[in-house]
A and B are shown apart, each in its own frame.
Chain A
Amino acid sequence: MSRDAILGRVREALSVKTDAHVREVAKKSSHSLPVLANGPDGRTQAVKEFLPFVGESLEDHIAAFKVLSDKLQTEFIVVPTIDSARQTLDELRQKHQWERVGIHDHELVQSCVDQLPVEFLNTSSNYDAHALEKCDVGISGCDALIAQTASALVTNHSAGGRALSVLPPHHVVVADASQMVTTMADGFAIIREKHHEKWPSFISFITGPSRTADIERVLVLGAHGPKKLTIIMISE
């Protein structure tokens, strides 16, 4: 069936107006409500007004991010400088015995890993997915950190493609404190700004290590994606 035929059916169906009574129900509530602005801005505003409040300052945001990260079992490490980030990565390398590390062409990532004594796989040029799967960790950048949800917002540009951040068993994000924003809406705004009308084909909010509770509601990390997620944020 064609596009026109289906759109025609949709239009015909919509030629009858929605029942007023039913439309009303969605507005009504047994609770007392603040008046809600209609339209798109009203809804973006809604994210700020109704979702959990995480403070205004960077300190507040970091604190909120930390609380949720602990709950999610995300390892959130705040370090002062790039140098200390390098050191942290080296400690992680020793602790987890990294030998093969997936990276990509990303300024911050590159400057953090340049001294890491490991074998690198760079996903910014043609790479083999099987080889990436054998990496111990994937280290990527991000576009933003979302305080309200403790998410790292990535695209295939900021995270070295679609697979680097999901195929290896450990994902490390390096970020700068200036990337911390309040809400997911703020995150979208950053991507909108950066990519104007040429959207990346992949955007993702990463919120904790991969998980499942499909067996008797018992939480298990690393269902299919990374079992570990580390976010290193450089504060200076």
Chain B
Amino acid sequence: METALKISLFIPCYVDQLSPHIGIAMVNVLERLGHEVNYPEGQTCCGQPAFNSGYFPEAKKVADHFLDTFADADLVAVPSGSCTAMIRKFYPELYQDSPQAKEVSELGGRVFEFTELLVNQLGVTDVGAKLNGTATYHDGCHGLRELGIQDAPRKLLENVQGLSLVEMDEAQSCCGFGGTFAIKFPQISTAMTQVKLGSATQTEADYLISGDPSCLMQIGGYFSRQKSSIQCLHIAEVLDQQ
């Protein structure tokens, strides 16, 4: 551990409301590593729901608020690949021809998804966590394809004591969430998760782990409805296990 860093948290709106424990786990891990964590209290949402529905001007208004809130942050940690992608990849598109373009792209360079922050920015692959059992990892599409996050979570999980990692065939297939897609086309969305369940079940894993709370909402919601014994966990929760 070299220098302690000041890390600002962005806790996406639905994590704040539905699964705060994911945020809390992230705080615990970062603090355990000796960093100073702060939480800009004016924060709300990155604007992705509007953006993905095609309401770009509306999304930009929410993005404006995000920019104000995090203008002074050195380093921002986000427990979601999807929200990180929104900020790093899609904000620049929203602000393409605006005077804030530069500010936006600079901020994008300081915002990191939790596992890439740990591995690529902080150089940590072993956080000293322990969890017994077998796990399989689900790559959230935004983290994987917009940000190229693939190795970081696996490195971290390989170093969790007692945990063995088994890849499933469909690790990189979409879970079926996709925001409003899950509501507008529930039959397709659910069929996709059904495929995920089949693939995860084949690995005989105890846990399905992911870096994206929205995927977990979808996967967890379906798995529990199907009475699957697989427990769905966010990677921050796993890394927080002592």
Contact = CB atoms under 8 A, between A and B. Distances in A.
Contacts of A30: 148
Interface in A168-206: none
B206 interface: no
B96 A21 contact: yes
B93 interface: yes
Contacts, number: 3
B90 to A, nearest CB: 11
Interface in B125-172: 148
Interface in B90-121: 93, 96
Contacts of A21: 93, 96
Interface in A23-48: 30
Give chain B's interface residue range (CB within 8 Å of chain A).
Answer: under 10
A21 B148 CA distance: 19
A33 to B, nearest CB: 14
A233 B148 CA distance: 48
Nearest to B148: A30
Contacts of B148: 30
Nearest to B145: A30
B68 to A, nearest CB: 25
Interface string B80-98: 0000000000000100100
Nearest to A20: B96
Interface in A106-128: none
Contacts of B96: 21
A114 to B, nearest CB: 58
Nearest to B93: A21
A191 B70 CA distance: 63
A232 B148 CA distance: 48
A20 to B, nearest CB: 8
A21 B93 CA distance: 8
B150 to A, nearest CB: 9
Interface in A10-25: 21
B109 to A, nearest CB: 16
A30 B149 CA distance: 10
Nearest to A30: B148
A21 B94 CA distance: 11
B207 to A, nearest CB: 28
A195 to B, nearest CB: 46
B115 to A, nearest CB: 16
Interface string A67-107: 00000000000000000000000000000000000000000
Nearest to B92: A21
B237 to A, nearest CB: 28
Nearest to B150: A30
B149 to A, nearest CB: 10
Nearest to B144: A30
Nearest to B147: A30
Interface of B: 93, 96, 148
3 contacts: A21-B93, A21-B96, A30-B148
A-B pairs with lowest CB-CB distance, top 3: A30-B148, A21-B93, A21-B96
